[in-house]
Structure 1
């Protein structure tokens, strides 16, 4: 399968009224994150670790440097550590004058917040935050709806934090935050995404920046056409109606 809608959905993050005259955003303050996952996620988005500042991303063309601050050791990450995000700051690459968020290119601000929201979604302590950022949930819901419409999957609907699928073998839900699959009645069905090179395993074929969104969309499509399932491991978990 090819994902023809890649990059169609770009959530727009706008500053709150409280942020406009400040040089930092605290909208993700207090979220505890896993250091290793945070590093992996943000490095793929162009962020680098700095001994003094923490995680930084420089926009040379706009002359802006962004810093994600959390009390963490980014160079020797420990699984025992669970730092909380404190703030995201915006500064000029040259000069010492304060850079207010209201003076920042809206697209630049939106992309930075999208990076942080993605990080919270992936690296929240304990797995995926059950209260994943609203923008992330809304984006995933929109992608699921669009996918169902494009593939003519009339047995898929989205309501709240879940995608509901009425398959041939059973009915299922997929959580838009954790990607956990449950059969109607509460039985969890363990479907684990793995690389295609691992033969005998399920291959989820979509390609996107956010692996959790990819996993959710792939599971929805898979279960919407459960009559085509061949994997014996998945089939044995499904209690057929």
Structure 2
């Protein structure tokens, strides 16, 4: 039932209005708490179990989130156990029941804290039980220090040399708790050339350096640059830069994940219309390389999820994962959907196929199980695959003209 019956609206209008307001407030609070939990990974915060039980586990609203997440229980005498609330009990990944003690402390589990085998075991359990986590946890990307970063010592260039839509980047940064001021084209019209994240629990500040993309007409009516290019990621204290090997692995991983999110969402390489609408000619090669190039960590995690998911779906008989693409065999052509950008190439000549997703519509059918929420590109990839497997039934002329060229 999409709305209350007319008779009920007439006889209980005030009550329905109050109920709707309460529902809206609850939804907003749930979203805010989910974001707070997600941002809380980087803190590595531990709380006493009685406090956790009262304000997280038994809370009328928060329990919806916390009972679907994996938690690490630290024992007073030392050691820890990771558990998920399943079948009315706290259970380990192997199904053993855990009875927490009031002297335990509780921490939100993060995959960087466990071995690869343990992480894969949790993912398998979620898949088998078809448990969808309210935020990405078991499938959360892990960013470990690489040899080039060990060599540069105080900075990482892993996320450098990307072109981002500045306003979208700014919105994402603020949503994730970063501080950033828009750059203007008027005599260095900005406060700084970096986005910063304060990490008081660790006495650190993370910095993501960016610079304006100075090109003709590359600013809006108020003089704000449309695009910025990315540079280094650093960690600093009041005493200067911190060597990356000295940054706690969980902190490093979460900061790099944020930056990868900024790049993955705000990059012009994700825009299927950017090239056709002109874009910036000097960065045309960047668009090509990003749209169909090597996969970042987010896309690698997406690939792992799709490898488990695709064989169980309708598209499984005509689709397979090949390198960095989901390859879909339609009736008319074969399509390669990039697992990072969601952009499409058509075989045999790698012709680009532009399909603009309808972000206001549901991108996957309700019976498709996704192991986590919040990955719009994953849904878009599945939506495109479902469309293209029956390409002979597509009626949108903007698509069929491209396919039949």
SS of equivalent residue, structure 2 residue 385: helix
Q: Kindly indicate whether the alpha-carbon contact (under 8 Å) linking 1:189 and 1:234 is maintained by their aligned counterparts in 2.
A: no
Q: Does 1:212 align with 2:377?
A: yes
What's the counterpart of residue 65 of structure 1?
A: 205
Name the SS of the counterpart of 1:15 in structure 2: coil
Contact 2:332 2:392 in 1 (8 A): no
Partner of 1:143: 305
Deviation of the 1:15 alpha carbon: 1.2
Conserved 8 A contact 1:191-1:234: no
Other-structure match for 2:335 = 172
Map of 1:4-23 to 2, 5 A cutoff? 4=132, 7=136, 8-20=138-150, 22-23=153-154
Whole-angstrom distance in 1 between the partners of 2:294 and 2:155: 21
Residue 97 to residue 235, structure 1, CA distance change in 2 (3 Å): closer
Contact 2:295 2:339 in 1 (8 A): no
Q: State the distance in 2 between where 1:98 and 1:143 align.
A: 37
What is the TM-score of this pair, normalised by structure 1?
Answer: 0.73
CA distance in 2, matches of 1:90, 1:43: 18
SS in 1 for 2:147: coil
1:125 is displaced (CA, Å) by 4.3
- CA 98–87 in structure 1, closer or farther in 2 if over 3 Å, else same: closer
Query: Which of these residues, 247, 254, 264, is aligned with residue 104 of structure 1?
Result: 247
| 2:283 maps to 1:155 | no
Q: Per-residue CA shift, 1:196-231, capped at 9, x if unaligned?
A: 3xxxxx53148844433432233234444x3896x6
Change (3 A) 1:176 1:84: same
Q: Distance in 1 between matches of 2:131 and 2:379?
A: 10
Partners of 1:85 and 1:57 in 2: CA distance? 16
Distance change >3 Å, CA 84–CA 15, structure 1 → 2: same
Greater helix fraction, Structure 1 or Structure 2: 2
* 1:123 is the counterpart of 2:266: yes
Whose relative contact order is higher, 1 or 2, with alpha carbons under 8 Å and at least 6 apart? 1
- Tell me by how many angstroms 1:170 deviates: 5.1
Contact 2:363 / 2:382 at 8 angstroms: preserved in 1? no
Equivalent pairs, count: 227
The 1:60–1:214 alpha-carbon spacing in structure 2 relative to 1, beyond 3 Å, is: farther
Compare CA radii of gyration and give the structure with the larger one: 2
- TM superposition shift of 1:88: 1.0
Unmatched tracts of structure 1, length 5 or more: 197-201
Q: Distance in 1 between matches of 2:263 and 2:398?
A: 33
Q: Is residue 191 of structure 1 aligned with residue 355 of structure 2?
A: yes
Larger mean Cα displacement after TM superposition, 48-57 or 156-165: 48-57
